[in-house]
Chains A and B, each alone.
Chain A
């Protein structure tokens, strides 16, 4: 049984198609990443999963049944934008949101305090929400979505706007939840986070599903064609015939090899060529990162109009409003 199942979901706002023919499923007890650049339809998809909006066509099932509002008591939701009452005291706010999910006032209060201790923001409890920093408000919102101990946790951009320490704290919390048997879905435009945390992913671009499946499967379907090399000396080896493209940095280079059945041998040949003229400090052969896979997929789906593929497209170029440069990248 899938915890979340989307079947050919389509959603249109006015003239804009937000989501088109989107299907994927999430298995119980896994951590799932919904990936895509800003404006690709992540938030629209999530809103349909929890019934804030309904799909124009297609269907959404939660916990193995077509969506009804009754299951919402088993879902914890963190919206992309902070949705807190600005003037309310933090504790009152948490107690209120907890009781909306069916907790008694006393139980809601007890859990709120316990969670604030766990996420190290006890000092915020008596303060008014508007007096807190953005990151602290984010943590409060995070707690609010977990108070009622939901089986399915859906978080829209949970780590955006957080410093690395707090981002790791929340990631660890989500990992703990997954370990406790909960299903976690979160959206992000940061591929590195997904790569570290997720069991399964869905990549969407302009409302279309580009790639989905388990992380391990996706990665293993890509050969090790990526070479990261640190060196000292002549860089003439970078014109080696096995190389498809190069990103050159001071003292190092990121290389993509040409697809070939003899990829392993090509690597060794490249290493040998490099050693002739330069001192090799590091030579690493890896699978592509999720980011590279994504870019590749997007370019496959939309062949370049001018014939040649644009060189060195990065993930950030695909985003309409690049928002943050990775802190821990």
Chain B
């Protein structure tokens, strides 16, 4: 069955005031929001700019706000966001400069991720099957590779989509806040570090006014993460470790 969906898309180009254009797009009832955006581009207006690549929640490039909520449109069914009457509103992520239409400049996010030195790849942490959002297990669920396999490797679950930064009320205040993805990446790097000097350097990198102490604990990042990850929990974990270190230093005096 096919649906005629009224789709409002944020438009922003050089020399044109930001506004929204309304498209009536005809898509299958099984379509995703990304299919609908692509249909608007293919059949109505080839100047619409949007980012997309994998269409299965792995590349992280297509993140936008749909009816005000951050989502990956590639894995959001149109029927989940359309009530059959109102317009579906698609806008770019917040807290990034808009380059054009739905495209934001993600360089600040990638600067932070690169600085964190979080590996994009790590040894597998849990036995299969793995659910979206499942936290690494430390008990019997720990992955033990079969004999003859040194270890299975796994891509990091964070897809670097920027949704957590868009959802973050602290990031909305501007400034140089490292943001949830950047801080969570530091926590991942911390979890892998063993040498004391390395741990000191990693913790020191986020122990400042733009680091973990700037977070207002709104937990919107964890709420919105399409991969079910917990950046807020990662920030709290870094804070706990930094606090414990301060206390130890006080008592040693």
Q: Do A and B come from one complex?
A: no
- Chain A residues packing against B (C-beta within 8 Å): none
